[in-house]
């Protein structure tokens, strides 16, 4: 099922400013907040959708990629991008976007100040680069990479923080001209985790973590472009605590330049050189595309600069808008060294009517060909 447009979820137009995006999210979050809609699964799903939309649109880089590629900019087989494939839940939403509600992890305003929630600590994200060939981009590929990530040591145990009693927050009451006000601050004992270490195995750090090398499988969808960032949820560094969640592995795509093919969006360009005799008499050629070899026919009398277009033999669109074309640029190779017999032949032909240039209206100029190629 197609995902709902992020702007539509927040009730915004695509020209919305960051201030309007924040305002739109707060409006939807208040409308569907679980404190206001207890035991309402539909409201909870709408609440998550609004948070997912805000996560992308509030980040200028993510917003730019979304505006260009839509949901496909963040979605791989691992579910990169958004909450759906990253393992985040309601606690994660409150911990990440608590500032929208005026601070803290709760939702001050409902039920006399809202309910306290224990913030789930998330480990740090990790970033790697993956290089792909044009052939891999054309079909999609599974890559296995080795990463060194922090994980909880075997045997480590944690206990509830005695200072905040597991909430991750300390409440402070101050007297103001408006009366007594209660504010929440991050617990300085557990740094907001709600847990502290109780048993630390040998070889682990102060948080009970060790560094371990793991092999991670990354399914890369077809049609990705240079600079696209995919997300593998839960494969970053882990965080201390039994209720914590791991960070994400962010995968930056790099494209390996091809020796003979040039990419232009979803189109592929290839320079094919034919000799003078082949151009005059015509011939058949075998050309290597990104998805395999194809046979093409060079018509007799083919001019240098002619472009042959193989429909659908280019690269697929990451947005699923179809597949580009494979453009073959014909270049007639003029011999640079001739023997005596060859020179005599061409001297004899120099005044022949068939050898005199006589372009017609169907023979387009170089600039017309360039214009057609980009139109």
Domain with CATH 1.10.287.110 in the chain: 1-120
pLDDT of residue 216: 95
Chain centroid to Cα 81, Å, comes to 8
pLDDT given for residue 111 in this prediction = 39
**65-89 burial, b if ≥16 CB within 10 A, otherwise e?**
bbeebbbbbbbbebbbbbbebbebe
- Return the CATH number of 1-120, one of 2.60.120.10, 1.10.10.10, 1.10.287.110, 2.60.40.420: 1.10.287.110
Distance CA 49, CA 55 (A): 10
Supply φ then ψ for residue 136, to 5 degrees: -70, -35
pLDDT for 77: 43
Instruction: Return the pLDDT at 268.
Output: 95
Residue 7's pLDDT is: 92
List the chain residues with pLDDT less than 70.
Answer: 1-2, 35, 75-119, 176-179, 361-375
Which CATH class for the 261-374 domain?
Answer: mainly beta
pLDDT of amino acid 174:
76
- Residue ranges, comma separated, of all CATH 2.60.260.20 domains in the chain are 121-155+201-256, 261-374
pLDDT tens sequence across 249-293: 999 999 999 999 999 999 999 999 999 899 999 999 999 999 899
pLDDT of the residue at 369: 56
Instruction: Record the pTM.
Output: 0.61
* CA distances in angstroms from 34 to 40, 44, 115, 262, listed in the order given: 7, 6, 11, 52
pLDDT given at position 357: 78
Would you tell me which CATH number, out of the four given (3.50.50.60, 3.40.50.300, 2.30.30.220, 2.60.260.20), belongs to the domain 121-155+201-256? 2.60.260.20
Contacts for 284 with CB less than 8 Å, ≥ 6 apart: 295, 296, 297, 298
């Amino acid at each position: 099922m197609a995902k709902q447009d992020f702007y539509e979820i927040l009730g915004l137009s695509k020209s919305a400013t960051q201030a309007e995006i924040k305002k739109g999210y707060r409006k939807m979050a208040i409308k569907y907040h679980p404190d206001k809609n207890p035991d309402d699964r539909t409201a909870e799903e709408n609440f998550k959708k609004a948070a997912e939309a805000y996560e992308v649109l509030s980040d200028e880089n993510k917003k730019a990629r979304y505006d260009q590629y839509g949901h496909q900019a963040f979605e791989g087989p691992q579910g990169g991008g958004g909450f759906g494939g990253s393992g985040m839940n309601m606690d994660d939403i409150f911990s990440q976007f608590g500032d929208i509600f005026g601070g803290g992890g709760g939702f001050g305003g409902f039920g006399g100040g809202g309910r306290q929630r224990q913030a789930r600590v998330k480990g740090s994200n990790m970033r790697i680069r993956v290089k792909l060939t044009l052939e891999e981009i054309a079909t999609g590929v599974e890559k296995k990479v080795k990463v060194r990530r922090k994980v909880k040591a075997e045997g480590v145990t944690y206990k509830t923080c005695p200072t905040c009693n597991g909430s991750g927050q300390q409440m402070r009451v101050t007297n103001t001209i408006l009366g007594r006000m209660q504010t929440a601050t991050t617990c300085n004992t557990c740094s907001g985790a709600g847990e502290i270490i109780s048993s630390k195995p040998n070889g682990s750090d102060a948080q009970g973590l060790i560094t371990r090398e793991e092999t991670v499988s990354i399914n890369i969808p077809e049609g990705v472009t240079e600079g696209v960032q995919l997300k593998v949820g839960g494969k970053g560094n882990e965080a201390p605590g039994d209720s914590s969640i791991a960070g994400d592995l962010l995968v930056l795509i790099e494209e390996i330049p091809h020796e003979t093919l040039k990419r232009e969006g979803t189109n592929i360009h290839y320079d094919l050189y034919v000799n003078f005799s082949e151009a005059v008499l015509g011939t058949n050629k075998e050309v290597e595309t990104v998805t395999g070899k194809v046979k093409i026919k060079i018509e007799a009398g083919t001019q240098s600069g002619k472009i042959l277009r193989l429909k659908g033999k280019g690269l697929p669109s990451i947005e699923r808008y179809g597949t580009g074309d494979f453009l073959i640029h014909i270049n007639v190779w003029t011999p640079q060294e001739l023997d005596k017999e060859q020179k005599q032949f061409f001297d004899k032909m120099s005044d022949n009517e068939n050898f005199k240039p006589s372009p017609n209206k169907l023979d387009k100029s170089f600039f017309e060909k360039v214009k057609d190629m980009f139109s």
